Amino acid sequence: MPPRYPRDFHGHGPDRPDAAWPGGARIAVSFVVNYEEGGENCLLHGDAASEAFLSEIVGAAPWPGQRHWNMESIYDYGARAGFWRLHRLFTGANIPVTVYGVATALARSPAQVAAMQDADWEIASHGLKWIDYKDFSEADEAADMAAAIELHTQVTGSPPKGWYTGRASENTVALAAQQGFDWISDTYDDDLPYWAEAGDRDQLIIPYTLDCNDMRFATAQGFNSGDQFYAYLRDTFDALYAEGVEGRPAMMSVGLHCRLVGRPGRVQALRRFVEYVQGHEGVWCARRADIAAHWAEHHPHQRRVRSSELGHEAFVEQFGGVFEHSPWVAEGAWGLELGRAHDTALGLHSAMCRVFRAAPPEDRLRVLQAHPDLAGKLAAARRLTDDSTAEQASAGLDALTDAERETFAAMNSAYVAKHGFPFIIAVRDHSKAGILRAFERRVNNGTEVEFDEACRQVERIARLRLEAML
């Protein structure tokens, strides 16, 4: 197989599905509390250096071989004070929460775990430790993932149903999919859940957020005040809510950290946003587990044959006739860097047109010459391809009067004599009368102009054929 591009730029496409949220909600809002305190890089945890990520210390760097007392103290605040402030806020507002719980952090915080469970918060796994996995081998990351699941189960009494590493590697999603989680959130690529095919498993992905996230209080080009955080959350909510009113409901994730938004100077912004959300009708505040269950029920995955995954023979057999009697166009398209974006009629048409347009004029001329005359002898003798037969019939060209047939025959002869290829038009776009008008107009064009127009029509015919196939 030629190279196949693994990233998916198409997603749900221009017309995303109706999420059909419960009660006809216009938006689903998922509040996520990242519980990392006690799972961060620290010599006490067997790490080589101190933590340097997401704290009040601007420009922090790891301290190899040393404990960073200030960093540890900041993380401790999240567990000792910030968590309880968020717990009071969400339980008081009766809003369900998903926790991304680092297993070792949960193990070091029994009171907080009990509070999560008493509040019926979903506790998903946030990995074994709050560390970066970009340089881990696949085997080592898999071992940590297995250890995280085991420890999580011991601490909470049940295995996690959802997964989010956060500081992930290119292997994270594939490894998590092997564990059978109900959902995985290590992507940031959509406003709706979607299905990913991981071998024989259909894996639900619920994308997360790094923009509606209090982590930007601790990053460059981030939030300097609670007002900025609130305004950004509000604007995001307003945009998605309006889309829901228009019939395209989506979901909004809000990422929170106990040591960041749990500070008094920031929590009021979150409180205002919670009140703002609750001041709107048609809002579904849900745990990610609830969103996953809803999506699995109302939008189950349906596998289909994807053009980018077909072998050469099967690909050419299926698409070799899209450009009339010119399988070389399909062969060339198969050899391109195809991906999920090319598994639609529009996407595959784009790839095939690239091949057609890159071909020398003499090859494109042969494609034009492979097309039959409209209502010509081949049609009368029923020797057209199935596609051409259906196309001509769609405009009534299979039921001409004798006079109409003579008119077409005369115009065909005149056109071919002048230009050297038959008159080509995407007949599905026109009526019989419209085709005749185009015939009369175009026969007088110069051959260079008509060659370009005929090529555009060939591409249009190919698009219509692909739409009927895919």
The residues that are catalytic are: 371
Per DSSP, the three-state class of 17 is coil
Report CA-CA distances (Å) from 204 to 68, 184, 275, 299: 39, 7, 30, 10
Q: What is the 3-state secondary structure (H, E, C) of 266-317?
A: HHHHHHHHHHHHHCCCCEEECCHHHHHHHHHHHCCCCCCCCHHHCCHHHHHH
The DSSP code sequence of 141-186 is HHHHHHHHHHHHHHHHSS--SEE--SS--TTHHHHHHTTT-SEE--
Per DSSP, the three-state class of 438 is helix
Element (H, E) at 121: none
Both structure tokens of 412: 């065909």
Burial of 291 (0-12, 13-18, 19+ CB in 10 A): buried
CA distance 231 to 9: 29
Per DSSP, the three-state class of 241 is helix
* Residues whose CB is less than 8 angstroms from the CB of residue 165 and which lie 6 or more positions away in sequence, other chains included: 126, 127, 133, 172, 176, 186
CA distance 23 to 95: 17
CA distance 432 to 415: 18
CA distance 82 to 179: 32
CA distance 215 to 378: 69
Strand ranges for 15-140 from DSSP E: 27-35, 98-101, 122-125
CA distance 359 to 64: 59
Please give the DSSP secondary-structure letter assigned to residue 344: S
